[in-house]
Protein backbone atom coordinates (compact mmCIF):
# COMPACT_ATOMS: atom_id res chain seq x y z
CA UNK A 1 0.00 0.00 0.00
CA UNK A 2 1.13 3.50 -0.82
CA UNK A 3 0.05 6.80 0.70
CA UNK A 4 0.16 10.21 -0.95
CA UNK A 5 -0.70 13.64 0.41
CA UNK A 6 -1.31 16.34 -2.17
CA UNK A 7 -2.06 20.03 -1.57
CA UNK A 8 -4.54 21.35 -4.11
CA UNK A 9 -6.94 24.14 -5.07
CA UNK A 10 -9.66 24.41 -7.69
CA UNK A 11 -9.29 27.75 -9.47
CA UNK A 12 -12.23 30.15 -9.61
CA UNK A 13 -11.91 29.93 -13.42
CA UNK A 14 -12.87 26.21 -13.45
CA UNK A 15 -15.68 25.76 -16.03
CA UNK A 16 -17.97 23.85 -13.61
CA UNK A 17 -18.18 26.67 -11.07
CA UNK A 18 -20.44 29.29 -12.70
CA UNK A 19 -23.43 26.92 -12.69
CA UNK A 20 -22.83 25.55 -9.22
CA UNK A 21 -24.21 27.96 -7.60
CA UNK A 22 -24.40 31.31 -9.40
CA UNK A 23 -23.22 34.13 -7.16
CA UNK A 24 -21.92 31.73 -4.45
CA UNK A 25 -19.99 28.97 -6.22
CA UNK A 26 -18.79 25.82 -4.49
CA UNK A 27 -16.68 23.08 -6.03
CA UNK A 28 -19.03 20.29 -7.18
CA UNK A 29 -18.48 16.85 -5.66
CA UNK A 30 -17.96 15.34 -9.10
CA UNK A 31 -15.04 17.73 -9.69
CA UNK A 32 -13.48 16.64 -6.39
CA UNK A 33 -13.94 12.96 -7.28
CA UNK A 34 -12.35 13.53 -10.69
CA UNK A 35 -9.34 15.10 -8.96
CA UNK A 36 -9.17 12.19 -6.51
CA UNK A 37 -9.20 9.67 -9.38
CA UNK A 38 -6.58 11.61 -11.33
CA UNK A 39 -4.25 11.78 -8.34
CA UNK A 40 -4.74 8.07 -7.53
CA UNK A 41 -3.71 7.23 -11.10
CA UNK A 42 -0.66 9.48 -10.85
CA UNK A 43 0.54 8.67 -7.31
CA UNK A 44 -0.66 5.09 -6.76
CA UNK A 45 -0.55 3.82 -10.35
CA UNK A 46 -4.28 3.12 -10.03
CA UNK A 47 -5.04 1.35 -13.29
CA UNK A 48 -7.52 2.54 -15.91
CA UNK A 49 -10.81 0.69 -16.19
CA UNK A 50 -14.27 0.42 -14.70
CA UNK A 51 -14.48 1.56 -11.08
CA UNK A 52 -16.91 1.41 -8.20
CA UNK A 53 -17.04 4.25 -5.66
CA UNK A 54 -18.25 3.42 -2.14
CA UNK A 55 -18.91 5.09 1.19
CA UNK A 56 -18.61 8.59 -0.26
CA UNK A 57 -19.37 11.30 2.29
CA UNK A 58 -19.23 15.03 1.61
CA UNK A 59 -19.07 16.83 4.95
CA UNK A 60 -18.47 20.47 4.03
CA UNK A 61 -18.04 22.48 0.82
CA UNK A 62 -14.83 23.60 -0.81
CA UNK A 63 -14.86 27.10 -2.26
CA UNK A 64 -13.05 28.22 -5.41
CA UNK A 65 -9.36 28.96 -4.73
CA UNK A 66 -9.63 27.40 -1.23
CA UNK A 67 -6.56 25.30 -0.43
CA UNK A 68 -7.23 21.70 0.59
CA UNK A 69 -5.28 18.51 1.10
CA UNK A 70 -6.05 15.17 -0.55
CA UNK A 71 -4.78 12.05 1.23
CA UNK A 72 -5.00 8.77 -0.67
CA UNK A 73 -4.01 5.27 0.49
CA UNK A 74 -4.01 2.27 -1.79
CA UNK A 75 -2.60 0.55 -4.83
CA UNK A 76 -3.38 -0.24 -8.47
CA UNK A 77 -6.66 -2.00 -7.59
CA UNK A 78 -8.26 -0.01 -4.74
CA UNK A 79 -7.78 3.09 -2.65
CA UNK A 80 -9.38 5.14 0.08
CA UNK A 81 -9.25 8.90 0.26
CA UNK A 82 -9.99 11.84 2.47
CA UNK A 83 -10.04 15.54 1.74
CA UNK A 84 -9.28 18.09 4.46
CA UNK A 85 -9.19 21.85 4.62
CA UNK A 86 -5.77 23.40 5.23
CA UNK A 87 -6.90 23.68 8.88
CA UNK A 88 -7.44 19.90 9.02
CA UNK A 89 -11.26 19.93 8.92
CA UNK A 90 -12.83 16.95 7.17
CA UNK A 91 -14.34 17.76 3.76
CA UNK A 92 -14.94 14.35 2.16
CA UNK A 93 -13.95 10.71 2.33
CA UNK A 94 -14.61 7.48 0.48
CA UNK A 95 -13.25 4.48 -1.35
CA UNK A 96 -12.78 3.35 -4.92
CA UNK A 97 -11.91 0.02 -6.48
CA UNK A 98 -11.95 -1.67 -9.82
CA UNK A 99 -15.17 -3.48 -10.63
CA UNK A 100 -16.61 -5.25 -13.64
CA UNK A 101 -19.27 -3.45 -15.61
CA UNK A 102 -22.78 -4.78 -14.99
Helices (H) and strands (E) in the chain, counts: 1, 5
Strand 51-58 to strand 90-98: parallel, antiparallel, or no bridges (unpaired)? antiparallel
Q: What is the pLDDT of residues 3-26, one digit of tens each?
A: 999 999 999 999 988 877 878 899
In this predicted structure, what is the pLDDT of residue 102? 62
pLDDT per residue as tens digits for the range 65-92: 999 999 999 999 999 999 999 999 999 9
Among 66, 96, 81, which residue's Cα sits nearest to residue 4? 81
Query: Rounded to whole angstroms, what are the CA distances from 49 to 33, 64, 74, 78, 98?
Result: 15, 30, 16, 12, 7
The number of beta carbons lying within 10 Å of the beta carbon of residue 32 is 23
pTM for the full predicted model: 0.92
Amino acid sequence: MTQASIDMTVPASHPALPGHFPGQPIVPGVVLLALVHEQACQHLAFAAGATRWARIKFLRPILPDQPFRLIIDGDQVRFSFRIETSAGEAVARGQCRHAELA
